[in-house]
Structure 1
């Protein structure tokens, strides 16, 4: 029997791959028998012979379009496929989506980008794997891995080997994963301006151990403090009665960083913000002069805590 099928899968790469696997199984297609093309292999010349069934009834291909810009000829070949053509097209712009939907189907998977979205995927996914993650453990994995869903899935596979009945709380999961929570530069500044240098240094240490480049980190501090300084001005002008939404609108910035900046700004006044900006400028100069990056940033956090 001739199988003519074009199916494309979009969304987060990990979820699109899972969707492809499940779809192939549902349709009785053995993925191991399909040739997989990716990168420079994806050309009309390499694709055409795979889109027609062989004399023995085989044929078929998995095409990964990551980093590939398929031209009109290639898309026309896919549209006319005479054998299974399973396409991983994580972005699937409207022009290509129309081709998939006109000549086959497009299966759209989620593409979680925010921590809440990752958690929304993680908890039910873990449950399907037979793992009852506690809330703090799920938050830990989302914090450490972010949108690296493949990394999260790999750690969940490790957790399956724990003795039955093991409580999957954050402490247990962190012991298995062996990675520290990522630092938060806004949390670092919040702790410093609250007069809590130990907590500020702890956040700084996490950021540096996580591979954050000191120059980029100081650049983030400069940007964040420029936003904080503008929030200080808004608070002074409004008598301290500016809302997060109004501040974001007036500053032309996104609500989340403005919310964080306002929390820090409420502890400062114009005189203190000027002193802090001078200290940040001094740290920037020290880094450019070749001073030890970690020590320079540590000293800065202590100075901002005074």
Structure 2
């Protein structure tokens, strides 16, 4: 029986544990083969039935170059083979379906999706985690679900009524990465300190100042187009804006949030300031200082 577990590695492993446990197999007793040990000569002896019955083996394909000889061996194995296959191309999915079972574990990718997953995991652990705290964990760990679970396990020992963002931040001890849309949003909302903080985190994480300026130019051009859409009248949400402007809903949503604070006069003034800052950076002025001054001017 070939059991293929594709998608996010952490979720795939959890699902494999559930499936094998339901079959009466003790997870701790299952030999695991991974990395350089995933070879036909090393696997073959493990796939042979013993006096105690059919063998069960866990094969982790993460980072492994999968050859035809290997898939042929797995397909004809007289054993229960649970395969962790994060990449899971269509050819191997068909192999799992033909010779056993395929279990997909797609990973949450967008920050909101990850935050929703965090909230669900916290409820399963009976933790009262507020929305901002879930979003903080999503921002800090992104798709590292195993890292998030490790932090939730630590937070379970705290004797507090609610796990707020401040509480979770103190325990985790990691600063959330900067967000260029949040940076612009804070600037246009008149919060230059918050905008500068976002800029500092972006630069500290290794973002190139000139690429950041390029992102500001692109995002503000999107904001300007959203301002024009809003001036046309009628209901405009992220989906209609995304369709009209040819972008995905998430950037459309963020651009709309900024655009709703502006009018044509303000957006024109902001675009001139952005152009001046761009020219200043290209003429040799300090990029970080120029970006920070730009954010202050956008908050006026």
CA positional deviation for 1:274: 4.2
Answer yes or no: is 1:100 the counterpart of 2:93. no
TM-score normalized by the length of structure 1: 0.81
Q: Name the SS of the counterpart of 2:79 in structure 1.
A: coil
1:155 Cα deviation after fit? 0.7
Is 1:276 paired with 2:278? no
Whole-angstrom distance in 2 between the partners of 1:99 and 1:19: 19
**Corresponding position of 1:226:** 221
Mark the runs of 5 or more structure 1 residues left unpaired by the alignment: none
Q: Aligned match of 1:261 in 252, 255, 260?
A: 255
| Secondary structure at 2:88 match in 1 | coil
| Match status 1:174 vs 2:169 | yes
Determine if the alignment matches structure 1 residue 88 to structure 2 residue 84: yes
Q: Over aligned residue pairs, what C-alpha RMSD do you find?
A: 3.1
Alpha carbons 1:35, 1:60 under 8 Å: kept: no
Give the Cα–Cα distance (whole angstroms) in 1 for the partners of residues 257 and 161 of structure 2.
39
Matches within 5 A, 1:194-273: 194-236=189-231, 238=232, 240-241=233-234, 243-244=236-237, 245-270=239-264, 272-273=266-267
User: 2 CA distance for matches of 1:132 and 1:267?
Assistant: 34
CA contact (8 A) 2:32 2:60 kept: no
**Number of the residue aligned with 2:157:** 161
Number of the residue aligned with 2:178? 183
SS at match of 1:105: strand
Question: How many residues matched?
Answer: 298
Report the CA distance between 1:234 and its aligned residue: 3.8
Aligned with 1:134 (options 130, 134, 143): 130
Distance in 2 separating the partners of 1:50 and 1:284 = 62
* Structure 2: gaps spanning 5 or more residues: none
Give 1:16 deviation, angstroms.
0.9
Distance 2:115 2:37 in 1: 36
Give the Cα separation in 2 of the matches to 1:215 and 1:263.
24
Q: Secondary structure at the match of 1:84?
A: strand
Residue equivalent to 1:72: 68
For the 8 Å contact 2:39–2:70, the answer to whether it is kept is yes
